[in-house]
Structure formats: C-alpha cells, structure tokens
Amino acid sequence: MRLRIEKAVTDCLGLSHDGSGRAVLVRGALPGEIVECSIVDGKAGTLKAELQEVLDPSPMRRVPICPYYGLCGGCSFQIVSERDSASIKESIVRDNLVRIGKLSVLPPFEEPAFGDGKGYRHRARFHVSLRDRQWGFMARKSNEVIHIEGCPLLSGRLDGLLRDGRELIDAARKAMFENRARGGFAEVPAFAGDEGVSLGDEPVTITVDDIRYLVSASVFFQSNPRVLPELLSFVRDNTQGEVVMDLYSGVGTFSALFEGSGRKVYAVERDRRCLALSQRNAPSALSFTADVALWNRKSIVPDTVIVDPPRVGMSREALSLISSFGAGRIIYVSCDSATAARDISSLKEYAVTKARVFDFYPGSGHEESAFVLDRC
C-alpha cells in the first residue's frame, strides 16, 4: 500500500488514510513522506501498518545514531534531530488539545525544551537471561534479549554497566532468588546518580538545578537531567500564592522547589516508597500517603494545585475533587498529552493560559508537556 503521511500523532506515529477513508498508522514514517507499507492489524476502524520503504523522504529524516535501531525495542524515533523531534512532538500536543481537548483557541506555547540525545538517560530497565547469560534490552516485538555492547543514549555509568554485565547478572540472580524473575528473564532497574548507581531500593543522590534529590531505581524520577531544569523552572515560575498542593507528588520533585520559601506545601502520593523519599527531599512539605481521588481535604484552600498523574491521566473522581478545591491555578504536568487533553476538557471552570513541551526522551515517541490552567 502506498500512502502519503499527513501528520504525526501520539507516540510519533505517521497518520494517513487509505482509499476508503480509514485511518492508517505507520510507525517510523514522517509527515509529508510517501511510503510503501503493509497492513498488520486493524481494529475499531484504525489500521496499523508496517513501514516497508520510504519512497519520498522528509528533509527531517536522518540515519539513526544507534546500530541496534530497529532490532532493540527501546527506541522508535531516532530518525530526526533533537530539534525536529521536539517540534514534531509540539505539533502532536497542539493537535490533541484541539481534537481531544476541544479547545477552539490554543494557548501561547513557550519554545519546546530539548537537549543532546546522546548520553542523557540516567534511568533504564535492563533485561537479563540467566539461562544463557545474555543481558541488554528486549528485542522489538519479541521476548528475546538482545545482547548490546553499548547504548549511545545511556549515561556513562549505565553504559558501563551494560558493557560489563557482571553487576546486572548479580542483580538478576538476586531477583531470581526473591522470585522476581519471570519466564527465565529478570528485569534490572537502574538509576545513575552523581556518584553511584542504584539497582533497587537503595537511594543515590542526583543534583538537578542545585537541588539534591535522593532517588532509587525502584521509583520513578525523570531520566533526563539535562531537560528537567526547564520543567522545574516552568513549575516554579508559574506557581502562585502561599498554599500549594503537589498531587501525584512522587519523590517530591516539585515539592522540593519550595523548600525555604515559606510556602505551605501538601504532598500527596500513594506509593509509600516514593513518599519516604519525598519526605527526605522536601522535609517541610506535609506528606500524605493516599490515592489522590480519595484524599478529601476540602478544608484546605490551595492557591496552586500541581498535578503530575501517570500516563492514563486522572480519574473522574480525582478531577471532581480537584475542581472542588477552587484553586486559582492548576499546573498540569503530563506524560501523555492525549489523556491530558481529555482531562483538561473536563475542568470546565479553567482555561489553559500557557503551555510548553519537554522532549525528555529524544529517540522515542514519548512526549511530555505542561499546562497552566487559570480559573475563569
């Protein structure tokens, strides 16, 4: 099937339509390109196609920087520069706000934040096969481990682990003894700090924007410390008032911004491991272990509510609760602009007044964004 790609959509998939008007999604195809592809799946009126050949390439297209690209399942968008990647992802966020969020007028967008795509990843999830002593990442569309000699996206310490392998095998054996290995494979999470690497619950320190965070491999923390300062500045600069709620607070990434400011910060996180680190990263915040949707503190009247939900977005109950607080401003940090746009459309009392895209994961289709919502 020969198609012209119309635009990029969520996960940086190329969107086109076949002769009967059905949507076709093609991974690895860029806007404006003419491609040859074959249909591999079709559900709910949307077809998925495998790219066979690029007949008329986009001027943005470049050769992937990794020799394992296309074999390893870790990266899916190493075909453009970091600048073009950020630009394409901003177009996806804009499209989602209009198409899903039903915004008739888009807010002003600050310039997208991006950085060097080499050596940026401080967090990774390695896979180890103890049966044949292979370690690396899972193959694309496969349950096999690809033995990788080195990854150009990993920070120096993580790439060193990958090249040597001994610590990964030791960690995999520990996972096996603790019954955490499945199907002959063990997952080994790793996070590289300033001076060491965490391979489990043991925390390491990483300094970002002059803030020292304690982080472990078993909890979430942004893997790109080159771009993270841009997001921290966006949140800090747009927070107003003296009472701040940090919902889905994780390890206190945003709560720590207000240490020593005199502001009253309420941090809410249901993962106890995250909250334990949050209490060390932001000791002056009032911390609560709870599901945001069930945390009912209507006696608190916040000036700014910061939300950073998981990829699935917020539940109806959480959205209703946040609306009931009556905050003058909400800062919504999102790792999936499709669900963020859906949630924003439900916050009827608020209007989006500012937005910015953060390309934390160049080389992949993932995009992150942040939105300022002011009460109407």
- pLDDT score of 288 more than 90: yes
Q: What is the pLDDT of residue 44?
A: 66
* pLDDT confidence tier of residue 297, bands split at 50, 70 and 90: confident
Question: H-type helices in 100-197, by residue range?
Answer: 156-164, 166-177
CATH superfamily of 2-61: Nucleic acid-binding proteins (2.40.50.140)
CATH number of 83-116+222-375: 3.40.50.150
Output DSSP code: residue 68: T
What CA–CA distance (Å, rounded) separates 288 from 272? Answer: 9
The tens digit of pLDDT for each residue in 193-228 reads 999 999 999 999 999 999 999 999 999 999 999 999
The tens digit of pLDDT for each residue in 10-42 reads 999 999 999 888 999 999 999 999 999 999 887
Q: What is the pTM of this model?
A: 0.95
Q: What are phi and psi of 274, to 5 degrees?
A: -65, -45
- Order of all β-strands in the sheet with 23-27: 2-4, 34-43, 46-56, 23-27, 13-17, 7-9
Domain extent listing, the chain: 2-61, 83-116+222-375, 123-215
User: What would the mean pLDDT of 155-163 be, rounded to a whole number?
Assistant: 96
What CA–CA distance (Å, rounded) separates 315 from 299? Answer: 22
What CA–CA distance (Å, rounded) separates 371 from 201? Answer: 32
Q: Which of 263, 262, 259, 325 is nearest to 292 (CA)?
A: 325
* pLDDT confidence tier of residue 178, bands split at 50, 70 and 90: confident
